[in-house]
Amino acid sequence: MRRVCSRCGKERSEINLPYAKMSLCPLCFQEFYVNRIRRTVREFSMFKPDDRVGVAVSGGKDSVALLHGLCKAFPEADFVALHVDLGIEGYSQHCKVKVEELARNLNVDLFVFDLKEELGFSISDYARSRRGKVCSHCGVIKRHVFEELAERADVKVLATGHNLDDYVALMLNNFFAGNWIQLARLKVVLKPILPRQTVKVKPLIKTPEDENLLYCIYADIPFRDVNCPYAHTSRLRRNREILDFLTKYNPNFKYQALKRFLELIEILDASIKQPELRTCKVCGFPSSGEICAYCRRIEIMVRHDPS
């Protein structure tokens, strides 16, 4: 029996959303996806209509879906794409091409920070100089560089592609690890403490990860289809399996966890003392010590530079 779309009642349904008790056709799904972004931005007052908003775009499905969805949800707003070229062999150029194509399609400005050109090293160079995992170090570098790109692009609001699955997994990880400081920082809108910090917002906070991929496919959005060679996916896969198991028996589990946590986060934030920030004496950006984590990693690369 042919199943029809729950919304239009005409087209064949292709996307089943158990938590919403809906089955949608591709066009209605895209409309549903964009409307959810619009509602989320307005619910949490993420930015004002006249704000210039930077969007961190890696080239992966989440970030490109975010930029595309924001442009469709707020066609009059001023969005800027920010991209970091990590210089990872066989990966970064592929990502950059996808981001450039999307920026052209959406007619948005694109600001690129090339690690090799601007700092003299790439993440591949960094990986060769260090033993073990590089993901955490790469994350520190990217977070700082996006702040620099935001300054260059003259944006005060930075949107990132953290999805519902990311958020709930981080929430559970930090809770079971007793990492209360990081747990308190998991705000949907994280306001700056010192100058040179942007307002961090997460418009995909209510969007399941799988739906970002579906949106990219149905809306014909270019996105990377290769994985980072340095990515350690075992923990991420394990977290996903746990969430999928819980969701199998309760389709609303992730939304329920999100709702309860958001009810508590303001109380948690008020009761947890965050480390005091100061200005890094090297780069001038906020830091918990005299020299920030980013500059310490730059120093490591300078010491390992054979030249």
> Could you read off the pLDDT of 275-294 as tens digits, one per residue?
788 889 999 888 888 999 89
Orientation angle between helical segments 209-218 and 26-43, nearest 10 degrees:
130
Whether residue 135 contacts residue 259, with contact meaning beta carbons closer than 8 Å, is answered with no
**What average pLDDT does the chain have?**
89
User: Average pLDDT of 255-271?
Assistant: 85
Whether residue 57 contacts residue 81, with contact meaning beta carbons closer than 8 Å, is answered with yes
pTM for this entry: 0.92
In the chain the first and final C-alpha atoms are separated, in Å, by 70
Could you report the per-residue pLDDT of 135-193, keeping only the tens digit for each? 878 888 999 999 999 999 999 999 999 999 989 988 888 888 888 888 888 889 999 88
Give the domains, in start order, of the chain with CATH numbers.
26-304 (3.40.50.620)
